[in-house]
């Protein structure tokens, strides 16, 4: 059996860092948002750990045939694995509701400002988003929208039909998977991000481990390639030519 010795690794550079990462949301959790009748409840959270400095959470009860005390909407940044974000919504019996989370800069308004983030560059370090989705058998849709401006944005819908129960199903969406409106979003110039959950009466749903999918920095790819090469050469009993 042959072993890799330190001199065989000396020619490899130190592991390079990833490109500067954009923080999506590691801010404070949303306030518990109850709603017992038709109407809208809004929550604003601020902090340096939130993309754009502010997260807006909006819970709209569209239809409640009788006063229902089972309605909640939550956002728990850092609750998921590796500091990722958890979003959850629960509707009371026979209640129809729409839940919306918005990152569009600090404006103190639930109205979406499609340029509020001021051209955040996601494309330099990320290739898409990932999350784990759970939903009860009432069915519903999660929508993800990235704006460059009011006329140019890209959207992806994840729809689960009624009668289907899913738990922790993993989704990985590339930016190229999103459907464009106008010219579509320029992911190097993002002005707002909006996530919406709506569905069947009484639907309960959770979206966990929400995060951007990082793109390996070129030097990191080179390091991994170099490691594979030195391992292969060591297995053959040879040293890298420049490790003398």
pTM: 0.78
SS3 at position 119: coil
Contact call for residues 206 and 87 (beta carbons, < 8 A): yes
180 and 92, same structural domain? yes
Share of the chain above pLDDT 70, in %: 68
Nearest CA to 135 among 91, 102, 98, 168? 168
95-133 pLDDT, tens per residue?
778 889 999 999 999 899 999 999 999 999 999 999 999
229 and 211, same structural domain? no
pLDDT over 80 at 16, yes or no: no
Contact call for residues 140 and 184 (beta carbons, < 8 A): no
pLDDT over 70 at 85, yes or no: yes
Domain that holds residue 9: 1-18+217-244
Whether 211 is covered by a domain: the verdict is yes
pLDDT-based confidence at 233, cuts 50/70/90?
low
130-187 pLDDT, tens per residue?
999 999 888 899 999 999 999 999 999 999 998 888 999 999 999 999 999 999 999 9
Total number of domains in the chain: 2
Contact call for residues 123 and 187 (beta carbons, < 8 A): yes
Contact call for residues 114 and 153 (beta carbons, < 8 A): yes
pLDDT over 60 at 189, yes or no: yes
Whether 103 is covered by a domain: the verdict is yes
Mean pLDDT of all residues belonging to the chain: 78
To 5 degrees, how large is the angle CA 94–CA 100–CA 101? 145
Give CA–CA dist 15/6, Å, rounded: 15
Whether 31 is covered by a domain: the verdict is no
SS3 at position 118: coil
168 and 55, same structural domain? yes
């Amino acid at each position: 059996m042959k072993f890799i010795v330190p001199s065989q690794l000396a020619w490899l550079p130190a592991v390079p860092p990833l490109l500067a990462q954009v923080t999506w949301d590691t801010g404070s959790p949303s306030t518990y948002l109850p709603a017992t009748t038709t109407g809208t409840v809004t929550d604003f959270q601020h902090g340096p750990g939130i993309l754009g400095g502010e997260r807006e959470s909006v819970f709209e009860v569209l239809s409640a045939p009788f006063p229902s005390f089972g309605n909640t909407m939550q956002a728990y940044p850092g609750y998921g694995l590796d500091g990722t974000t958890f979003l959850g919504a629960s509707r009371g019996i026979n209640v129809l509701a729409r839940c919306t989370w918005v990152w569009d800069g600090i404006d103190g308004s639930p109205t979406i400002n499609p340029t509020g983030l001021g051209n955040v560059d996601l494309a330099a370090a990320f290739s898409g988003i990932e999350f784990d989705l759970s939903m009860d058998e009432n069915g519903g849709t999660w929508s993800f929208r990235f704006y460059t401006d009011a006329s140019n944005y890209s959207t992806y819908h994840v729809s689960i039909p009624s009668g289907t129960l899913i738990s922790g199903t993993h989704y990985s969406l590339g930016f190229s998977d999103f459907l464009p409106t106008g010219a579509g979003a320029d992911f190097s110039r993002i002005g707002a991000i909006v996530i919406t959950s709506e569905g069947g009466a009484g639907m309960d749903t959770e979206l966990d481990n929400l995060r951007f999918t990082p793109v390996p920095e070129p030097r990191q790819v080179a390091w991994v390639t170099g490691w594979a090469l030195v391992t292969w050469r060591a297995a053959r009993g040879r040293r890298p030519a420049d490790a003398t």
